[in-house]
Amino acid sequence: MSSSGSTYGDIHRYEPARESTAAAIAIVLLTIIEVVFVFLFTFGLISGWGLSDTGNMYLGAVLAVIFIDLAFILALYRKEFLPDVVIVKKRRRKWEDLYIREDEVDGTPFADGAWDHVKRAIYPYYKR
């Protein structure tokens, strides 16, 4: 996404939510189903269903249904009731992450000439 005139924090695209009635009814029904399964899971824990092998698998299946139902509720809510917003973010260049000044992007010379290279090879702390 290349935005030439956009600055940091500008809203690049904003599409309002659809807010359909069918989605609202579906969310209400899924929430009622969610409450029923949470009650069933809680009742199973209190009654000790998890002490047998089949009861333990049953409680695990009920818990899986609870999370899948919750995922559907959240997906419907995000799709139908939250606006689609794209905000422009400024991407920093890599040399900015290293706290290097712009004139030092290509690096600084290690030595002035060939003789300085020889001196530095012999004595590493030369001109530091």
Comparison of pLDDT for 100 and 116, the residue scoring more: 116
Does 118 score more than 80 pLDDT?
no
Distances (CA, A) of 100 to 31, 42, 60, 87, 125: 54, 58, 55, 28, 23
Of 5, 76, 63, residue with least CA distance to 37: 63
Provide the phi-psi class of 60: left if phi over 0, else alpha when psi is between -120 and 50, else beta: alpha
**Would you say the pTM of this structure is higher than 0.85?**
no
Q: pLDDT tens for residues 19-76?
A: 889 999 999 999 999 999 999 999 999 999 999 989 999 999 999 999 999 999 999 9
- Whether 89 and 8 have beta carbons less than 8 Å apart is answered as yes
Which amino acid would we find at residue 125? Y
Q: pLDDT tens for residues 87-105?
A: 777 666 665 566 666 666 6
